[in-house]
Chain A
């Protein structure tokens, strides 16, 4: 995808300096963790490092106390 085809949000991201991107990424990540995100890598059967028995299925939305009520289609 060439630059002109990128969404505005991504153009704003590219307008930051590398260090600003790193700091913003830290904030995004903190929010992700605060919302119950998990640091476990997503299972990726196409990765040479993928071993099904070593992947931990985890908790719904990654946080104890949250349970999956409804899973969207697809």
Chain B
């Protein structure tokens, strides 16, 4: 998931780290830790590698030091805000294979967009690009679930107007879930852009609310670690 998935989909050109979402399963954790040992990775920051913490939504951060991956950071999560459990994400994944037989399993674009709805400003232009790329690649053969995804997640004023004109029935049906679909055509471009920004602020606030108790927990863990490390 994360930046590397965005590279595959075309919404980014590089990513400095690797973000993994994995099945919360004892055998799987052991495989992860074996892989981390092979990368000579050590856990950095809090929380510790703790299954209940992961299942509450925390991310565990590693930094590698094996030759060729020195300093590479790997972040691991098992639960993502407002996304279904791993098995559902896995069923919906997108897989690419290279000519050596390596398979890359990625969050599908709609799930990646949801995962990117964070309080970080830099994630939102990526969402915009992901939706635009998905529309451009699939506009000729629109599926009902894709039309819904485009209408609910589009962040470009121009594309939003185009989508509402092209799919007016679906836009009307979905407008209770996204009131902007009903208002967009009566707004000029600047007003529409401002309304889209307002939607982003609401989502950022939701993400902050979600993380608030987890951040308090992180702070307590930091303090506990600092006390434990004190000579």
Cα–Cα distance between A67 and B10 once the two chains are bound (Å): 34
Q: Is the CB of A2 within 8 A of B120?
A: no
Q: Does B87 contact A (CB under 8 A)?
A: no
Interface pair A21/B119, CB less than 8 Å apart: no
Q: Does A39 belong to the interface (CB within 8 Å)?
A: yes
- Please indicate the chain A residues that have their CB under 8 angstroms from the CB of B158 in the complex: 2, 5
Q: Main secondary structure on chain B at its contact with chain A? A: mixed
Chain A, range 16-38, C-beta contacts under 8 Å to B: 16, 18-19, 21-25, 28-29, 32, 38
Interface residues on A, range: 20 to 34
Bits for B8-46, please: 1 = Cβ < 8 Å to A, else 0: 111001111100000000000000000000000000111
A41 at the interface (CB under 8 A from B): yes
> Is the beta-carbon distance between A48 and B215 smaller than 8 angstroms?
yes
Who on chain A is nearest to B208 by CB? A48
The answer on a CB contact under 8 Å between B17 and A49 is no
- Asked if B17 and A39 sit within 8 Å, CB to CB, the answer is yes
Q: Judging by beta carbons under 8 Å apart, are A51 and B45 in contact?
A: yes
Q: Is the CB of B73 within 8 A of A41?
A: yes
A24 to B15, CA, bound (A): 12
* Residue pair B45, A1 in contact (C-beta under 8 Å): no
Given contacts A19-B98, A39-B73, A48-B211, contact A32 B119 (CB under 8 A): no
Say if the beta carbon of B104 comes within 8 Å of chain A. yes
Q: Assess the B121–A21 pair: CB atoms within 8 A.
A: no
Whether the Cβ atoms of B10 and A54 lie closer than 8 Å is: no
| 23 A-B pairs whose Cβ atoms sit less than 8 Å apart in the complex | A1-B125, A1-B128, A2-B156, A2-B158, A3-B132, A13-B13, A14-B10, A19-B98, A21-B8, A21-B10, A22-B4, A25-B7, A25-B13, A25-B14, A32-B14, A39-B17, A39-B73, A41-B16, A41-B17, A46-B120, A48-B214, A51-B45, A51-B218
- The 4 nearest A-B residue pairs measured at CB: A39-B71, A48-B211, A18-B8, A25-B7
Known: A18-B10, A22-B7, A41-B73. 5 other contacts (CB 8 A): A14-B133, A19-B98, A39-B70, A47-B118, A51-B218
